[in-house]
Amino acid sequence: MQKKEKPWGGRFSEPTDGEVEAFTSSLHFDRRLYRYDIEGSIAHARMLAKQGIITRAEATAIIAGLATIRGEIETGAFPFNPGDEDIHMAVEKALTDRIGEAGGKLHTGRSRNDQIALDIRLYLRDEIGRVIGLVAELKAGFVALAKKEFGVILPGYTHLQKAQPVLLAHYLLAFWEMLDRDESRLRDCLTRVNVMPLGAAALAGTGLPIDRRYVARLLKFPHVTANSMDSVSDRDYIAEFVFTASLIMMHLSRFCEDLIIWSTDEFGYVEIADAYTTGSSIMPQKKNPDVAELIRGKTGRVYGHLVALLTILKGLPMTYNRDLQEDKEPLFDAVDTLRASLKIITSMLCRLSFSRARMEAGAASGFSTATDVAEYLVTKAVPFREAHGIAGRIVAYCIERDKALTDLSLKEFRRFYPGFGKDLFVRLTVRQSVNSRRVPGGTAEAMVRRRIAEIERR
């Protein structure tokens, strides 16, 4: 029975234990690779025929059989058998059932070890392309919002304490920068994913006269892998992708964290559209930012996948080990989670309404222009450390009297430093404060406008 059922059953004298079969099977999750598995097999069959390893007629039968199987899987008609070990075996067995003996020639010069490496690379190459598209859409969303909200000022924070006034557009474009780096990391990762491993066979290559470069051309890989042992055990590109996914999630999570804080009654800087929030089953007044919270939570889940992968890989003796089968669920879930998060945050983004009044009131309070007082003194040749001390004493004076900097008279300012002039007061407005920060990369309107123009030129 074993001998008939398992393609590797030749040397076994008893069937696999049922529990072992279930434990070792990856079919329930690796079936999502079917398209890539079949695409790779078709290229492999074409190469085998070109090299005269199988006949043209056999290759034609194999390719037609594989195409039928692909159609069946797509329509849901394919009879998946949970007893099959993985997608490779399921497809190969179905092929032999349909076309007979020729099906048994497909696996010539190939092992599941290089086959799975090929499948994942094909899959990940596609997915990275999709993720790059989603990241690009989100980047465009941030630019659009920055333009729409141009001129709005909010308090910038450090330590979640009011620090200095900044443009909302500047804040939004900070996320554009993060996502732009993420996009470049994805493209960089893609160059290492996009290398063709087939032909490594089990680990050492094959004695049959295969043509690896031909397979690479058919599958649009610019390169073939250079070392067969590395080819079957390398999963760096998966770890790299999941690391990049982790960073993207971290960036989304940080934005979400701000939205969560900003949408509280205490801040009131932003309102998330009803369609992107949920209510409470007991408190009728509640409107909760669950989407933002879930993205924050799912970030932890993607980090978990990264740690899982690195841990799976760290102790593996060369070369292929079955542990490597455990790479797929973390990868697939990272891809799904990342794609879903990018999509929903992009649609939520254009449904945010910012409260200009709350933000600007927030920016005007809390002594957010105290640095401007110190910088004013620097223009009067006061050493910065001393200027900092003077401004600090003025803030303390204000706190004691429950006053804002703008409530003080010139006379009061002069008590702390006689050189204060009337020109101080325009510097104390938040807009002036923002627009004074004209360094490259600073928050001045002129600088942010310039950055938007640069981004749009690209």
Residues of this chain that bind ligand ARG (CB under 6 A): 26, 30, 86, 112-113, 116, 322, 324-325
Of 271, 304, 298, 308, the closest CA to residue 287 belongs to 271
41 is catalytic: no
Q: How far is the CB of 86 from ligand ARG (least distance, A)?
A: 4
- In three-state secondary structure terms, 7 is coil
Nearer to ligand ARG (CB atom), residue 332 or residue 367 = 332
Q: By Cβ distance, which residue is nearest to ligand ARG?
A: 325
Give the active site residue among 159, 231, 355, 388.
Answer: 159
Which residue of the set 184, 280, 353, 365 is catalytic?
A: 280
Tell me how far apart the alpha carbons of residues 210 and 107 are, in angstroms, rounded to a whole number: 12
| C-alpha–C-alpha distance, residues 453 and 436, integer Å | 20
Q: How far is the CB of 202 from ligand ARG (least distance, A)?
A: 7
Cis peptide leading into 319, omega within 30 of 0? Answer: yes
Which of 334, 338, 316, 336 lies closest to 325 in space, CA to CA? 316
Token couple for 39:
């695409």
CB of 25 to ligand ARG, least distance (A): 8
Contact criterion met (CB below 8 Å) for 135 and 215: no
CA distance from start to end of the chain? 63
The position carrying tokens 């407005």 is 429
Q: How far lies 173's CA from each of 176, 189, 253, 355, 441, in Å?
A: 5, 24, 16, 18, 11
Nearer to ligand ARG, 325 or 436 (CB): 325
Mapping DSSP to helix (H, G, I), strand (E, B) and coil, where does residue 88 land? helix
Shortest CB 197 distance to ligand ARG, Å = 12
Examine the residue annotation and report whether 433 is marked as an active-site residue of this protein: no
Kindly provide the residue ranges of all beta strands, DSSP E only, lying in 289-438, ordered along the sequence.
Answer: 352-354
Residue with tokens 């709005």: 152
In order, the DSSP letters of 367-382 are: TTTHHHHHHHHHHTT-
Rounded to a whole number of angstroms, the minimum distance from the CB of residue 173 to ligand ARG is: 42
Pairwise CA distance, residues 91 & 73, whole Å: 10
Min CB(323)–ligand ARG separation in Å: 9
The C-alpha R_g of the chain, in whole angstroms, comes to 31
Amino acid at 356: R
Asked whether 61 and 99 are in contact (CB, 8 A), the reply is yes
DSSP label of 56: H
Residue 119 or 149: the one with the smaller Cβ distance to ligand ARG is 119
Catalytic residues: 159, 280
